[in-house]
Every structure is written in structure tokens, then in C-alpha cells.
Amino acid sequence: EASDILGRLPNEPDEELTKACSCDILVTSKGLLRGCWGKFEAEAFYRPFPHHDMVKLIRHILIMLLDIEKYATREGETIENVEVLGEGSYAKVFGLGPVAAK
């Protein structure tokens, strides 16, 4: 069970971690469309993802969710193997390592 491996969640979010995970999703400097493509503002993180660069993981999932990977590639970024885990009438679910986003 996950709680056995990771332990119980703390009662309160980690404020430093939450601030550290807020980031620009993609900033481009090439082509006609330049600038920031969006910002991710974390609401609450209780603990770091095990063995992963959290900001990179979050950014890559969001780049795929927004379907802007070709612009990231144009900027020289190599997008991790984000998987489509599911799809419904109103949403897709993407995953990378231990994280999924809808």
C-alpha cells in the first residue's frame, strides 16, 4: 500500500516546497510566438515526489496537456515520455513517473 511506502501525509502543506514548485510552464524566444505560455501556481504540496525533479516533471506534464510540445522542442527542450493514461468526454489524464494530471 502507498501509505506504507511513503508514510502518512503531514497535517499541513510544505510552504517552501509549494513555492518552489510554482513555475513558468514554457518560455519561448524563437518564432512568431514568444514569451511565457503560462504559469503554474502550486496550491499545496505536502512532500516532494520520490526521486524526481518536481518542477521539470510538472512542466512536462503541463506542456503535453496544453499540446505545446512542438514549441518546447523548438526551444531545445527534450520532453520526457509523458503518457496518456486515460481519456473521457471532458478530459485527458497524462502521467509521468509517479505523477498524473487531468
pLDDT tens figures, 54-86: 888 899 999 998 999 999 999 999 988 899 999
pLDDT at position 81: 86
In this predicted structure, the answer to whether residue 2 has a pLDDT above a threshold of 70 is no
pLDDT at position 16: 92
Please write the tens of the pLDDT for every residue from 5-58: 667 888 898 899 999 999 999 999 988 889 999 999 999 988 887 767 888 889
What element of type H or E holds 28? strand 27-28
Collect all residues with Cβ–Cβ distance below 8 Å to 25 and sequence separation of at least 6: 36, 37, 38, 39, 40, 59, 62, 63, 66, 68
pLDDT at position 6: 64
pTM above 0.95, yes or no: no
